[in-house]
Amino acid sequence: MSRFDPFPFPANRLQDVDAALASTLEGLLEKEVASRRLELKEDYEGLLAPAYRKMMCDIGLQRVFWAEEAGGSGHDGPGAAYTVVAALEQVGRYDTGLAFLAAHSLALQAALAHGGGENAPLNEVLAEQFCREDHPVIVGFVLPAFGRAGVRAQPWRGRSFQVEASLNGSGWVLAGSGARPTCSGADADLFGVLCSVDGEDEPAFIVVPGTAGGLSRGPALLETGLAASRNAEIDFNAVKAGKERCAWRGEDGTRRLLSWLYAGMAAAAVGGMLAGHAILSEWGDARVIKGRGQVFKENPLAAALMAECAQATAVNRLLVYDLAEMLARPDVYGESGSERLFAMASMVANVVLRAADRCLHQVMELMASAGYAKEWQLERYWRDVKTVQCYLGGYELSKMTTARWFFGAETL
Protein backbone atom coordinates (compact mmCIF):
# COMPACT_ATOMS: atom_id res chain seq x y z
CA MET A 1 0.00 0.00 0.00
CA SER A 2 1.05 3.62 0.37
CA ARG A 3 4.57 4.48 1.44
CA PHE A 4 3.07 6.97 3.88
CA ASP A 5 0.31 5.12 5.67
CA PRO A 6 0.19 5.34 9.47
CA PHE A 7 -3.41 4.11 9.64
CA PRO A 8 -3.81 0.42 10.48
CA PHE A 9 -6.49 -1.48 8.58
CA PRO A 10 -7.28 -5.19 8.06
CA ALA A 11 -4.68 -5.70 5.34
CA ASN A 12 -4.80 -9.45 5.93
CA ARG A 13 -8.09 -9.48 4.04
CA LEU A 14 -6.30 -8.44 0.85
CA GLN A 15 -4.81 -10.96 -1.51
CA ASP A 16 -1.32 -10.32 -2.83
CA VAL A 17 -2.83 -9.26 -6.15
CA ASP A 18 -4.96 -6.62 -4.39
CA ALA A 19 -2.00 -5.08 -2.59
CA ALA A 20 0.08 -5.19 -5.77
CA LEU A 21 -2.67 -3.47 -7.76
CA ALA A 22 -3.01 -0.71 -5.15
CA SER A 23 0.75 -0.20 -5.10
CA THR A 24 0.92 -0.09 -8.91
CA LEU A 25 -1.86 2.47 -9.02
CA GLU A 26 -0.05 4.58 -6.45
CA GLY A 27 3.14 4.57 -8.52
CA LEU A 28 1.28 5.45 -11.71
CA LEU A 29 -0.71 8.29 -10.19
CA GLU A 30 2.29 9.70 -8.37
CA LYS A 31 4.01 10.00 -11.74
CA GLU A 32 1.08 10.88 -13.99
CA VAL A 33 -1.00 13.09 -11.68
CA ALA A 34 0.85 14.30 -8.57
CA SER A 35 4.04 15.35 -10.35
CA ARG A 36 2.09 17.26 -13.01
CA ARG A 37 -0.70 18.72 -10.89
CA LEU A 38 0.75 22.19 -10.28
CA GLU A 39 1.44 22.59 -13.99
CA LEU A 40 -1.82 21.21 -15.37
CA LYS A 41 -4.18 21.92 -12.43
CA GLU A 42 -7.49 20.19 -13.35
CA ASP A 43 -6.98 19.99 -17.09
CA TYR A 44 -9.18 17.20 -18.41
CA GLU A 45 -7.48 16.50 -21.73
CA GLY A 46 -3.91 17.01 -20.56
CA LEU A 47 -4.01 15.42 -17.09
CA LEU A 48 -7.15 13.55 -16.09
CA ALA A 49 -8.23 11.71 -19.25
CA PRO A 50 -4.73 10.26 -19.90
CA ALA A 51 -4.42 9.18 -16.26
CA TYR A 52 -7.83 7.49 -16.40
CA ARG A 53 -6.88 5.65 -19.58
CA LYS A 54 -3.64 4.38 -18.06
CA MET A 55 -5.16 3.16 -14.81
CA MET A 56 -8.14 1.50 -16.49
CA CYS A 57 -6.41 0.10 -19.61
CA ASP A 58 -2.66 -0.12 -18.99
CA ILE A 59 -2.97 -1.36 -15.42
CA GLY A 60 -6.20 -3.17 -16.26
CA LEU A 61 -8.57 -1.91 -13.57
CA GLN A 62 -11.52 -2.13 -15.98
CA ARG A 63 -10.75 -5.79 -16.79
CA VAL A 64 -10.93 -7.05 -13.20
CA PHE A 65 -14.32 -8.75 -13.32
CA TRP A 66 -14.18 -10.36 -16.74
CA ALA A 67 -13.17 -13.94 -17.58
CA GLU A 68 -9.59 -14.62 -18.61
CA GLU A 69 -10.68 -16.11 -21.92
CA ALA A 70 -12.31 -12.76 -22.72
CA GLY A 71 -9.12 -10.87 -21.89
CA GLY A 72 -10.03 -10.05 -18.29
CA SER A 73 -8.48 -10.86 -14.94
CA GLY A 74 -11.09 -13.42 -13.93
CA HIS A 75 -11.43 -11.83 -10.52
CA ASP A 76 -15.22 -11.96 -10.56
CA GLY A 77 -15.94 -13.46 -7.16
CA PRO A 78 -17.35 -11.41 -4.28
CA GLY A 79 -13.82 -11.16 -2.83
CA ALA A 80 -13.21 -8.52 -5.50
CA ALA A 81 -14.83 -6.10 -3.03
CA TYR A 82 -11.42 -5.83 -1.35
CA THR A 83 -9.84 -5.16 -4.75
CA VAL A 84 -12.30 -2.35 -5.42
CA VAL A 85 -11.84 -0.69 -2.03
CA ALA A 86 -8.04 -0.97 -1.96
CA ALA A 87 -7.72 0.33 -5.52
CA LEU A 88 -10.18 3.23 -5.27
CA GLU A 89 -8.76 4.35 -1.95
CA GLN A 90 -5.39 4.80 -3.63
CA VAL A 91 -6.90 6.54 -6.66
CA GLY A 92 -8.86 8.84 -4.35
CA ARG A 93 -5.63 9.94 -2.65
CA TYR A 94 -4.57 11.51 -5.94
CA ASP A 95 -7.88 12.54 -7.48
CA THR A 96 -11.30 11.89 -5.99
CA GLY A 97 -12.95 12.46 -9.36
CA LEU A 98 -10.92 9.71 -11.05
CA ALA A 99 -11.92 7.35 -8.25
CA PHE A 100 -15.57 8.41 -8.65
CA LEU A 101 -15.48 7.52 -12.36
CA ALA A 102 -13.78 4.19 -11.71
CA ALA A 103 -16.35 3.39 -8.99
CA HIS A 104 -19.12 3.62 -11.60
CA SER A 105 -17.33 1.33 -14.01
CA LEU A 106 -16.54 -1.26 -11.35
CA ALA A 107 -20.04 -1.13 -9.85
CA LEU A 108 -21.65 -1.94 -13.20
CA GLN A 109 -19.23 -4.80 -13.77
CA ALA A 110 -19.77 -6.18 -10.26
CA ALA A 111 -23.56 -6.01 -10.62
CA LEU A 112 -23.38 -7.95 -13.89
CA ALA A 113 -20.79 -10.44 -12.64
CA HIS A 114 -22.82 -11.28 -9.54
CA GLY A 115 -26.19 -11.34 -11.25
CA GLY A 116 -26.25 -15.10 -11.54
CA GLY A 117 -25.92 -15.04 -15.33
CA GLU A 118 -29.13 -13.06 -15.74
CA ASN A 119 -28.11 -11.84 -19.17
CA ALA A 120 -25.24 -13.77 -20.71
CA PRO A 121 -25.54 -12.13 -24.19
CA LEU A 122 -25.17 -8.64 -22.67
CA ASN A 123 -22.22 -9.75 -20.55
CA GLU A 124 -20.53 -11.13 -23.65
CA VAL A 125 -20.93 -7.86 -25.54
CA LEU A 126 -19.73 -5.74 -22.62
CA ALA A 127 -16.79 -8.04 -21.87
CA GLU A 128 -15.43 -7.34 -25.34
CA GLN A 129 -15.81 -3.60 -24.74
CA PHE A 130 -14.27 -3.53 -21.25
CA CYS A 131 -11.39 -5.84 -22.10
CA ARG A 132 -10.03 -3.60 -24.83
CA GLU A 133 -6.58 -2.32 -23.95
CA ASP A 134 -6.78 0.90 -25.93
CA HIS A 135 -9.94 2.60 -24.65
CA PRO A 136 -11.24 3.20 -21.13
CA VAL A 137 -14.99 2.63 -20.85
CA ILE A 138 -16.62 5.58 -19.09
CA VAL A 139 -19.89 4.68 -17.40
CA GLY A 140 -22.69 6.92 -16.14
CA PHE A 141 -25.95 5.97 -14.45
CA VAL A 142 -29.33 7.56 -15.03
CA LEU A 143 -31.24 6.83 -11.85
CA PRO A 144 -34.53 8.08 -10.43
CA ALA A 145 -33.96 11.48 -8.85
CA PHE A 146 -35.28 13.34 -5.85
CA GLY A 147 -37.06 16.61 -6.46
CA ARG A 148 -37.35 16.33 -10.23
CA ALA A 149 -40.46 15.89 -12.33
CA GLY A 150 -40.57 12.30 -13.54
CA VAL A 151 -42.30 10.84 -16.55
CA ARG A 152 -44.32 8.54 -14.37
CA ALA A 153 -46.42 9.22 -11.30
CA GLN A 154 -45.46 6.08 -9.38
CA PRO A 155 -41.96 6.65 -7.91
CA TRP A 156 -39.14 4.26 -7.06
CA ARG A 157 -38.03 4.55 -3.43
CA GLY A 158 -39.59 8.00 -3.26
CA ARG A 159 -37.78 9.17 -6.40
CA SER A 160 -39.10 10.14 -9.81
CA PHE A 161 -37.95 8.17 -12.85
CA GLN A 162 -36.08 10.29 -15.37
CA VAL A 163 -36.60 7.88 -18.28
CA GLU A 164 -39.55 5.70 -19.32
CA ALA A 165 -39.17 2.57 -21.42
CA SER A 166 -41.66 0.58 -23.45
CA LEU A 167 -41.16 -2.93 -24.79
CA ASN A 168 -42.30 -3.98 -28.22
CA GLY A 169 -41.54 -6.89 -30.51
CA SER A 170 -38.16 -5.55 -31.60
CA GLY A 171 -36.88 -4.37 -28.24
CA TRP A 172 -36.90 -1.40 -25.89
CA VAL A 173 -37.72 2.22 -26.67
CA LEU A 174 -36.54 4.83 -24.15
CA ALA A 175 -37.93 8.35 -23.73
CA GLY A 176 -36.97 11.14 -21.38
CA SER A 177 -35.69 14.70 -21.63
CA GLY A 178 -33.18 16.56 -19.48
CA ALA A 179 -32.09 13.41 -17.64
CA ARG A 180 -29.06 14.04 -15.46
CA PRO A 181 -26.60 11.14 -15.09
CA THR A 182 -24.57 10.54 -11.96
CA CYS A 183 -21.40 11.38 -13.88
CA SER A 184 -19.80 11.97 -17.27
CA GLY A 185 -22.90 12.82 -19.28
CA ALA A 186 -20.66 14.53 -21.83
CA ASP A 187 -18.23 11.62 -22.23
CA ALA A 188 -19.79 8.32 -21.14
CA ASP A 189 -19.50 5.33 -23.46
CA LEU A 190 -22.28 3.50 -21.61
CA PHE A 191 -25.31 4.67 -19.69
CA GLY A 192 -26.94 2.35 -17.20
CA VAL A 193 -30.54 3.60 -17.14
CA LEU A 194 -33.07 2.59 -14.51
CA CYS A 195 -36.38 3.13 -16.29
CA SER A 196 -40.02 2.90 -15.42
CA VAL A 197 -41.75 0.51 -17.83
CA ASP A 198 -44.93 1.53 -19.56
CA GLY A 199 -47.88 -0.37 -18.12
CA GLU A 200 -45.79 -2.31 -15.57
CA ASP A 201 -44.82 -1.84 -11.94
CA GLU A 202 -41.38 -3.44 -12.20
CA PRO A 203 -38.58 -1.11 -13.41
CA ALA A 204 -35.92 -2.16 -15.93
CA PHE A 205 -32.19 -1.44 -15.90
CA ILE A 206 -31.09 -0.99 -19.50
CA VAL A 207 -27.49 -0.51 -20.63
CA VAL A 208 -27.47 1.99 -23.50
CA PRO A 209 -24.43 2.77 -25.69
CA GLY A 210 -23.44 6.42 -25.70
CA THR A 211 -23.64 6.33 -29.50
CA ALA A 212 -27.26 5.12 -29.63
CA GLY A 213 -29.49 6.87 -32.14
CA GLY A 214 -31.82 9.39 -30.56
CA LEU A 215 -29.52 9.97 -27.58
CA SER A 216 -28.35 13.56 -27.44
CA ARG A 217 -26.20 15.38 -24.91
CA GLY A 218 -26.55 18.94 -23.72
CA PRO A 219 -23.65 21.31 -23.00
CA ALA A 220 -21.27 20.39 -20.20
CA LEU A 221 -22.58 21.52 -16.82
CA LEU A 222 -20.60 23.89 -14.65
CA GLU A 223 -19.60 22.02 -11.49
CA THR A 224 -17.41 23.00 -8.57
CA GLY A 225 -15.69 19.64 -8.21
CA LEU A 226 -14.97 16.29 -9.87
CA ALA A 227 -13.15 17.73 -12.86
CA ALA A 228 -12.66 14.20 -14.20
CA SER A 229 -16.42 13.94 -14.67
CA ARG A 230 -17.70 16.25 -17.38
CA ASN A 231 -21.41 15.93 -16.81
CA ALA A 232 -24.24 16.99 -19.08
CA GLU A 233 -27.97 16.44 -19.33
CA ILE A 234 -29.14 13.70 -21.69
CA ASP A 235 -32.22 13.48 -23.91
CA PHE A 236 -33.60 10.08 -24.87
CA ASN A 237 -35.68 10.67 -27.98
CA ALA A 238 -37.14 7.27 -28.85
CA VAL A 239 -33.78 5.60 -28.19
CA LYS A 240 -33.94 1.97 -29.31
CA ALA A 241 -32.17 -0.87 -27.52
CA GLY A 242 -32.33 -4.60 -28.13
CA LYS A 243 -34.08 -6.83 -25.62
CA GLU A 244 -30.71 -8.18 -24.48
CA ARG A 245 -29.71 -4.70 -23.35
CA CYS A 246 -31.92 -5.07 -20.26
CA ALA A 247 -29.51 -6.21 -17.55
CA TRP A 248 -32.24 -6.95 -15.00
CA ARG A 249 -35.78 -6.25 -13.90
CA GLY A 250 -36.86 -5.39 -10.38
CA GLU A 251 -34.93 -4.16 -7.37
CA ASP A 252 -32.34 -6.84 -6.54
CA GLY A 253 -30.01 -5.90 -9.40
CA THR A 254 -30.30 -2.20 -8.68
CA ARG A 255 -29.57 -2.72 -4.99
CA ARG A 256 -26.56 -4.82 -5.98
CA LEU A 257 -25.31 -2.07 -8.30
CA LEU A 258 -25.75 0.64 -5.68
CA SER A 259 -24.16 -1.40 -2.88
CA TRP A 260 -20.96 -1.71 -4.92
CA LEU A 261 -21.15 1.90 -6.08
CA TYR A 262 -21.54 3.15 -2.51
CA ALA A 263 -18.54 1.08 -1.41
CA GLY A 264 -16.46 2.64 -4.20
CA MET A 265 -17.62 6.17 -3.38
CA ALA A 266 -16.80 5.66 0.30
CA ALA A 267 -13.33 4.33 -0.58
CA ALA A 268 -12.73 7.38 -2.80
CA ALA A 269 -13.69 9.65 0.11
CA VAL A 270 -11.27 7.83 2.43
CA GLY A 271 -8.58 8.43 -0.19
CA GLY A 272 -9.37 12.14 0.04
CA MET A 273 -9.05 11.98 3.82
CA LEU A 274 -5.67 10.25 3.52
CA ALA A 275 -4.56 13.03 1.17
CA GLY A 276 -5.80 15.63 3.67
CA HIS A 277 -3.82 13.93 6.42
CA ALA A 278 -0.63 14.05 4.33
CA ILE A 279 -1.15 17.74 3.59
CA LEU A 280 -1.84 18.55 7.24
CA SER A 281 1.18 16.54 8.37
CA GLU A 282 3.45 18.60 6.14
CA TRP A 283 1.82 21.79 7.39
CA GLY A 284 2.14 20.79 11.04
CA ASP A 285 5.83 19.99 10.65
CA ALA A 286 6.81 23.10 8.72
CA ARG A 287 4.85 25.95 10.33
CA VAL A 288 5.94 27.83 13.42
CA ILE A 289 3.45 29.86 15.46
CA LYS A 290 4.54 33.49 15.41
CA GLY A 291 5.44 35.05 18.72
CA ARG A 292 5.85 31.69 20.41
CA GLY A 293 8.45 29.91 18.32
CA GLN A 294 6.34 26.77 18.64
CA VAL A 295 6.00 24.20 15.89
CA PHE A 296 2.36 24.13 14.82
CA LYS A 297 1.69 20.49 15.67
CA GLU A 298 3.11 20.95 19.20
CA ASN A 299 0.44 23.48 20.12
CA PRO A 300 -2.18 21.68 22.27
CA LEU A 301 -5.19 23.24 20.53
CA ALA A 302 -3.82 22.55 17.06
CA ALA A 303 -2.83 19.03 18.10
CA ALA A 304 -6.33 18.30 19.42
CA LEU A 305 -7.92 19.31 16.12
CA MET A 306 -5.32 17.41 14.13
CA ALA A 307 -6.07 14.36 16.26
CA GLU A 308 -9.76 14.62 15.41
CA CYS A 309 -8.90 14.54 11.72
CA ALA A 310 -6.64 11.52 12.17
CA GLN A 311 -9.30 9.76 14.23
CA ALA A 312 -11.97 10.33 11.60
CA THR A 313 -9.66 9.02 8.87
CA ALA A 314 -8.72 5.90 10.81
CA VAL A 315 -12.23 4.98 11.93
CA ASN A 316 -13.93 5.60 8.60
CA ARG A 317 -11.27 3.65 6.77
CA LEU A 318 -12.14 0.69 8.98
CA LEU A 319 -15.82 1.19 8.16
CA VAL A 320 -15.12 0.96 4.44
CA TYR A 321 -13.09 -2.23 4.83
CA ASP A 322 -15.87 -3.68 6.97
CA LEU A 323 -18.35 -2.92 4.18
CA ALA A 324 -15.98 -4.65 1.75
CA GLU A 325 -15.97 -7.65 4.11
CA MET A 326 -19.78 -7.80 3.97
CA LEU A 327 -19.83 -7.63 0.18
CA ALA A 328 -17.08 -10.24 -0.02
CA ARG A 329 -18.87 -12.77 2.23
CA PRO A 330 -22.39 -13.40 0.92
CA ASP A 331 -22.29 -16.74 2.74
CA VAL A 332 -22.23 -14.80 6.02
CA TYR A 333 -23.95 -11.48 5.33
CA GLY A 334 -26.23 -12.23 2.39
CA GLU A 335 -26.12 -11.21 -1.25
CA SER A 336 -25.12 -7.68 -2.23
CA GLY A 337 -28.55 -7.21 -3.79
CA SER A 338 -30.38 -7.88 -0.54
CA GLU A 339 -32.23 -5.18 1.33
CA ARG A 340 -29.91 -5.78 4.29
CA LEU A 341 -26.64 -5.16 2.42
CA PHE A 342 -28.11 -2.24 0.50
CA ALA A 343 -29.13 -0.57 3.76
CA MET A 344 -25.65 -1.11 5.21
CA ALA A 345 -23.89 0.19 2.10
CA SER A 346 -26.08 3.29 1.98
CA MET A 347 -25.52 3.96 5.66
CA VAL A 348 -21.74 3.48 5.53
CA ALA A 349 -21.37 5.65 2.41
CA ASN A 350 -23.35 8.50 3.96
CA VAL A 351 -21.46 8.33 7.27
CA VAL A 352 -18.06 8.21 5.53
CA LEU A 353 -18.84 11.06 3.10
CA ARG A 354 -20.09 13.26 5.94
CA ALA A 355 -16.99 12.46 7.99
CA ALA A 356 -14.71 13.21 5.03
CA ASP A 357 -16.47 16.54 4.47
CA ARG A 358 -16.03 17.52 8.12
CA CYS A 359 -12.44 16.27 8.27
CA LEU A 360 -11.31 18.19 5.20
CA HIS A 361 -13.16 21.25 6.44
CA GLN A 362 -11.24 21.07 9.72
CA VAL A 363 -7.94 20.73 7.89
CA MET A 364 -8.84 23.77 5.81
CA GLU A 365 -9.60 25.78 8.96
CA LEU A 366 -6.32 24.72 10.57
CA MET A 367 -4.39 25.90 7.52
CA ALA A 368 -6.27 29.24 7.37
CA SER A 369 -5.84 31.02 4.02
CA ALA A 370 -3.45 28.34 2.77
CA GLY A 371 -6.30 25.83 3.07
CA TYR A 372 -8.16 27.26 0.11
CA ALA A 373 -5.05 28.22 -1.86
CA LYS A 374 -4.86 26.02 -4.95
CA GLU A 375 -1.15 25.25 -4.62
CA TRP A 376 -1.82 23.20 -1.48
CA GLN A 377 -4.46 21.12 -3.33
CA LEU A 378 -6.61 20.76 -0.20
CA GLU A 379 -9.48 22.82 -1.55
CA ARG A 380 -9.77 20.43 -4.51
CA TYR A 381 -10.34 17.43 -2.24
CA TRP A 382 -12.84 19.49 -0.24
CA ARG A 383 -14.77 20.42 -3.42
CA ASP A 384 -14.66 16.90 -4.78
CA VAL A 385 -16.02 15.29 -1.61
CA LYS A 386 -18.78 17.91 -1.45
CA THR A 387 -19.77 17.11 -5.03
CA VAL A 388 -19.75 13.34 -4.45
CA GLN A 389 -22.14 13.98 -1.55
CA CYS A 390 -24.54 15.67 -3.95
CA TYR A 391 -24.63 12.59 -6.17
CA LEU A 392 -25.04 10.32 -3.17
CA GLY A 393 -28.27 12.17 -2.38
CA GLY A 394 -29.63 13.98 0.64
CA TYR A 395 -28.51 12.61 3.98
CA GLU A 396 -31.92 13.00 5.61
CA LEU A 397 -33.59 11.21 2.70
CA SER A 398 -31.06 8.37 2.92
CA LYS A 399 -32.32 7.69 6.43
CA MET A 400 -35.52 6.36 4.87
CA THR A 401 -33.53 3.42 3.50
CA THR A 402 -32.19 2.79 6.99
CA ALA A 403 -35.67 3.02 8.54
CA ARG A 404 -37.13 0.63 5.98
CA TRP A 405 -34.63 -2.08 6.90
CA PHE A 406 -34.06 -1.62 10.63
CA PHE A 407 -37.61 -0.74 11.62
CA GLY A 408 -39.71 -2.31 8.89
CA ALA A 409 -41.17 0.98 7.68
CA GLU A 410 -43.31 0.24 4.62
CA THR A 411 -44.85 3.52 3.47
CA LEU A 412 -41.70 5.68 3.15
Domains of the chain (ranges; CATH) run: 11-137 (1.10.540.10), 140-249 (2.40.110.10), 252-407 (1.20.140.10)
Contact between 223 and 387 under an 8 Å Cβ cutoff? The reply is yes
Average pLDDT in the chain: 91
Contact between 266 and 260 under an 8 Å Cβ cutoff? The reply is no
Contact between 194 and 141 under an 8 Å Cβ cutoff? The reply is yes
What pLDDT score was predicted for residue 156? 61
Q: Which of 59-63, 285-289, 312-316, 380-384 has the lowest mean pLDDT?
A: 285-289
Quote the CA–CA distance of 197 and 163 in Å, as a whole number: 9
Strands 246-249 and 204-209: antiparallel
Confidence of residue 100 (pLDDT cuts 50, 70, 90): very high
**C-alpha separations of 123 from 128, 323, 366 in Å:** 9, 26, 49
Contact between 367 and 280 under an 8 Å Cβ cutoff? The reply is yes
Percent of the chain having pLDDT more than 70?
95
Q: Which of 41-45, 69-73, 349-353, 371-375 has the lowest mean pLDDT?
A: 371-375
What pLDDT score was predicted for residue 112? 92
Contact between 78 and 114 under an 8 Å Cβ cutoff? The reply is yes
pLDDT reading at 309 higher than 60: yes
What pLDDT score was predicted for residue 102? 98
What pLDDT score was predicted for residue 294? 86
pLDDT reading at 151 higher than 70: no
What confidence tens digit (pLDDT) does each residue in 109-131 have?
999 988 755 678 899 999 999 99
Which residues on adjacent β-strands are paired with residue 165? 174, 197
Q: Which of 96-100, 244-248, 380-384, 403-407 has the lowest mean pLDDT?
A: 403-407
Q: What share of the chain is helix, strand, coil (3-state, %, to 5)?
A: 55, 15, 30
Contact between 146 and 158 under an 8 Å Cβ cutoff? The reply is yes
Q: Where are the alpha helices (DSSP H) in 191-299?
A: 252-286
Q: Residue 71 — φ and ψ, nearest 5°?
A: 100, 5
Quote the CA–CA distance of 274 and 67 in Å, as a whole number: 33
Q: Which of 30-39, 129-138, 169-178, 399-408 has the lowest mean pLDDT?
A: 399-408
Quote the CA–CA distance of 247 and 241 in Å, as a whole number: 12
pLDDT reading at 3 higher than 80: no
pLDDT reading at 4 higher than 70: no
Quote the CA–CA distance of 235 and 366 in Å, as a whole number: 45
Per the rule left: phi > 0, alpha: psi between -120 and 50, beta: everything else, 232 is beta
Percent of the chain having pLDDT more than 90?
75
Residues 6 or more apart in contact with residue 290 via CB below 8 angstroms: none
**Beta strand ranges found along 199-319 (DSSP E):** 204-209, 215-220, 232-241, 246-249, 288-289, 294-295
Other beta carbons less than 10 A from residue 74's beta carbon? 13
Strands 190-197 and 164-168: parallel
Closest by Cα among 144, 111, 119 to 252 = 111
Q: What is the pTM of this model?
A: 0.94
Quote the CA–CA distance of 50 and 55 in Å, as a whole number: 9
